[in-house]
A and B are shown apart, each in its own frame.
Chain A
Amino acid sequence: MSSDTTNSKGNNVGLIALVVGIVGIVIALFGFKQGWDNGDVRPIMSWLIGIGFWLSIAIGMLFLTQIWYVFHARWPTIIRRQCEHGMAAFPYLLVLFLPLLAIPFLHENPGLLWKWMDGHNALPGHGTVGEDPLYQWKSPFLNIPFFAIRAVGIFGVFILVSGLLRRWSFNTDTTGDVNNLHNARRLSSLGLFLTSIAMTLGAIDWFKSLEYHWFSTMYGVWFFAASMRAAISALLILCVILAAKGYLKGILKQAHRYDLGCLMLTFTIFWTYISFSQYFLIYSANIPEETFWYNIREMNFDGTRNSWWWVSMGLIFGHFLTPFLCLLWYKTKVVVWRTVLVACWILAFHVLDLYWNIVPGKMVTPDHGPGYLVRQFSISPYDIAALIGIGGICIFAMCRSMKKAEPIPVRDPNILTSLNYTE
């Protein structure tokens, strides 16, 4: 095999990704610094969007790997290896998360991004966070030390589980010891619980607590569904690129792409089911503590439509209806360019979904009178810089991991089933 040439190609891609990543991160951090100095939260949210996007892909890959282990799935053996490379990004993502974790400890207003972190922060209407009975009730959970411990624990789970799964799978390549895979399967059955809890806590802490008044029991599942969609789409694009570049040439069959396409359809429906159920329960119950979260995503305080209304409609028609109808067709799932197009489309709207969950917020009016302002939809250059920058580092991590192991798990007992897989 011409492993020398492919490896050097991988080197180049990794190096380019690293350079692009560093440039993007420098630009995004410049925005972060501006926001830090001026007390402007928007450029800091750019960083959170970037982290959220790439973290969701890595989390989805971690879930897919464990689900495949637990169900003893044989067809995705060749794809599992690509997930394992993707999961190499977790330690880097922890480092990239640190600027956000620094806000409560180093900034003069600890509640710059997560406003509950500072009791002096004014609330729309009247009062401050510290005087808010809802915050007082939630303070045993929502306090800075516990938040920091949780953040470390959440990343600890991701890094530990993904690290062990990677080590065992790569070890099988060299030793052929099947016990590695038994261990991986055992760990996965526990790890699915651990990762689910860690992911739910992460979604609650980092995204939901931006509006700490609001509560939804569906939120963790929403993030799971969104992560799976993003991971499957990213995985499909990755596999197609690897097949075109020679790593998986002749290995990635139409049947693999078709099944990933089916999973993409499944999680498109699942994401919609979860997102709609969350909306529907809050709509039916009609309690102000919950409905305000959707209100600000639809209208301003005076009831006029705001920019988020269009984004919401964009999510319904762009993130659900369009990919759903496209993926119903068999041809969409087997014709390469169509599948890749739908996967890119889903990833683009996944970013929009993150915007929709992170950016809108109630802001105090300038005279601190009744009512509130809604932070409107905008795409800042720092968003793009953060997405590209953090993505560059993640891709660098993946390319680095690719040099450590075979392109497919060559000595996995299921490899032949996966190689000969047909629809």
Chain B
Amino acid sequence: MSESYGIIASFPNTPAFFHAAEKVRDAGYKKWDTYSSFPVHGMPAAQGQPRSKVPVFTFCGGVSGFSLGLSIVWFMNAFNYPLIVGGQPFFSPVFPFPIMYELTILLSAFGTLGGMFITNLLPQHYNSLFNSDKFLEVSGDRLVIAIEARDGQYDPVATRRFLEEIGGTDIEEVSA
């Protein structure tokens, strides 16, 4: 058998799945995840996941949009080609506001989308988990926890026994 990707275990119902995730978290595993075909409320906390980092990307996008809007209006109407419009000053923070505001929203949206891709490690065309036929059933009715071999605590025998202890069934090792 080739190098191992990790071990997957299935769970019979959502509460068992949920509490098993809490036990994996408490056992100190880091490189692992839960897979289900529907969202389970409270799962991020059960997995011990921190808040998403996407808002940081959104904020950076928004700030750059705001300053970009401000600077293009200043550059065009006050610096590169000073232009009098409607008797108003060459530059004021008031009249470029629609542009600053639109660009803030646009680049915040881009930041959010990009941040979502980056933090989700997308695009990802291949994942070893698809080598397992049982894992493919996750898109149906299977609930799976997978602990990866690159986790520091991973041990082929001990981890398998641990997954059995927390109620996992159909435990199998997935090749990389």
Contact = CB atoms under 8 A, between A and B. Distances in A.
A38 B67 CA distance: 53
A291 B36 CA distance: 60
Nearest to B52: A330
B42 A330 contact: no
A92 interface: no
A279 B42 CA distance: 45
Contact of A328 (B42, B59, B94): B59
Given A330-B51, A330-B55, A422-B42, A286 B86 contact: yes
B86 A284 contact: yes
Interface residues on A, range: under 10
A276 B59 contact: no
B50 to A, nearest CB: 11
A283 interface: yes
A338 to B, nearest CB: 15
Contacts of B59: 328
Interface in A273-303: 276, 279-280, 283-284, 286
A284 B95 contact: yes
B140 interface: no
Interface in B65-93: 86-88
A276 B55 CA distance: 26
Given A328-B59, A330-B51, A422-B41, A276 B97 contact: yes
A283 B41 contact: no
A280 B51 contact: no
B107 to A, nearest CB: 15
Nearest to A421: B41
Interface in A401-423: 422
Nearest to B42: A422
Contacts of B94: 279-280, 283
A405 to B, nearest CB: 30
A279 B59 CA distance: 26
Interface string B24-58: 00000000000000000110000000010001000
Contacts of A279: 94
Contacts of A276: 97
Interface string A306-331: 00000000000000000000001010
A330 B86 CA distance: 43
B163 to A, nearest CB: 27
A283 B87 contact: no
B15 to A, nearest CB: 15
Contacts of A283: 88, 94-95
Contacts of A284: 86, 95
Contact of A286 (B41, B51, B87): B87
B109 to A, nearest CB: 15
A316 B59 CA distance: 20
Given A286-B87, A328-B59, A422-B41, 17 more contacts: A276-B97, A279-B94, A280-B94, A280-B95, A280-B97, A280-B98, A283-B88, A283-B94, A283-B95, A284-B86, A284-B95, A286-B86, A286-B88, A328-B55, A330-B51, A330-B55, A422-B42
Interface of A: 276, 279-280, 283-284, 286, 328, 330, 422
13 contacts: A276-B97, A280-B94, A280-B95, A280-B97, A280-B98, A283-B88, A283-B94, A283-B95, A284-B95, A286-B86, A286-B87, A330-B55, A422-B42
